[in-house]
Amino acid sequence: MHKLDNKDLLHRILAISRAIAGQLDCQSVLREIAGEVNKLFHFDHMDVAIMLADGVNSISYEVGLQTQWGELVTGARPIMLSPIRTLLQGEVPYLLTGDALADDRFHFDGAFDGPIFAAKLRSRVHVPLYVNGSLSGALNISSHLKHAYTEYDVEVAQCIADLLAPYFYALSQTEQAKKAALGESHARNSEKMLRLGALQLTQGMEQERKRLGMDLHDQTLADLTRLLRHVAVLRRADNALEAPFLSIEKELDTCINELRNIIEDTKPGVLELFGFAQGVEAQLERCVAGVKPDISIAVIDHSNDYLDQIDTSQRTTIYRIVQEAINNAVKHSAPTSVQVEISKATSSLRIAIIDNGEGLNIDPHNNVGGLDNMKVRAALVSSTLSFNKNPENSGTKVVLDIPYKAFNNLPASIK
């Protein structure tokens, strides 16, 4: 490029500044200034490399010839693999070459230098972009011709880069923020859809449990009861067979009682008829019945029956978590007391299942008492589940915290 006087150079730089006006993304800025830059020096390819906030990767926007560098706008490339890494790392003030194809500064093991050869980019000028004294990227201008640029072109390119740097920095930060927000939004939507799908699946499973419970009650339980009566008749008819028939009777009676418990678990009738707290109390009573030494139980509800006002499927999921925690306490902790407390905090509902037993051995590699199932169910209602030892190192405290925003139907008292 022939040397311009300061007035002409200022006129050209101002034309570039006017071309930027109104552009809302980096690619549009580069496209709009291309014609004005080409009036200063002819180029076949121009691109801007923008360093990302991590200081490790960069993305490129290009105009003119289309290369693989421009294809990476949706992704990022390590600065260490850039042919101009010495410039992007601040090791040199600029790069100027008459034939990049043969210049070893652009070629090294792992270098992403394919576009230089593919597009035959021989003469190249590379100047840094600075914002508030910090290196933020580089302006890169290339020509098919050998030795097309001089030191004067480097000076002019640096003037253009100084003008463009704050625009590109602001726009790239906005674009990255939009991408991050979009990614976060997609993640939230995906999580929400998964949770809703899982809740629908849980609701379907609960319906199937109820159907199975009715089938077991109407058919299997009735068949076993008839069989028990038939064995009793046979026992009374033949004294010689009384002992073996009596043994069979007892086993059948045990099976019938266990089946009744299974049927009761498949349909939390008390929960639906009398509410959450009563359902939990009924579960406690069933669990401790016949256990020696006796276990005292209590359900303390400070929430004003909050859980009776929420979505049925969510209430059932929460009930199953509490049910499993109660079963674990009675079966594995040998307590003399089990207490369930329901309370309201500022942003969440808390349910605590507290016992004074030996404590559970919470081993992440050993699923004690269906702990994994409890965690899965807690995730379905966007809750946190924690297992802690009681003060004085006695027993276990299982705490379920459910954010109010996780409930599909918020009670009027919270809205």
Three-state helix/strand/coil letters over 346-400: CCEEEEEEEECCCCCCCECCECHHHHHHHHHHHHHCCCEEEEEECHHHCCEEEEE
Model confidence at 163, in pLDDT bands (50, 70, 90)?
Answer: confident
SS3 state of residue 43? coil
Q: Mean of the pLDDT values across residues 218-229?
A: 75
* Rounded Cα–Cα distance for residues 366 and 363 (Å): 5
- Is the confidence at residue 167, as pLDDT, over 90? no
Annotation: CATH topology of 273-415: Heat Shock Protein 90 (3.30.565)
pLDDT (tens digit per residue) in 130-150: 988 889 999 999 999 999 999
- Is the confidence at residue 415, as pLDDT, over 50? no
- What's the whole-model pTM score? 0.46
Annotation: CATH topology of 6-186: Beta-Lactamase (3.30.450)
- Is the confidence at residue 164, as pLDDT, over 50? yes
- Lowest-pLDDT range of 49-58, 170-179, 196-205, 308-317: 196-205
Query: What local confidence, expressed as pLDDT, does residue 144 receive?
Result: 95
Domain ranges of the chain: 6-186, 273-415
Q: Give the rounded distance of the alpha carbon of 70 from its chain centre.
A: 30
Topology match between the domains 6-186 and 273-415:
no
Of residues 258 and 116, more confidence is placed in 116
Q: Mean of the pLDDT values across residues 383-388?
A: 90
pLDDT (tens digit per residue) in 168-221: 888 777 766 666 666 666 666 666 666 666 556 656 666 666 667 666 666 777
Give me the DSSP letters along 209-228: HHHHHHHIIIIIIHHHHHHH
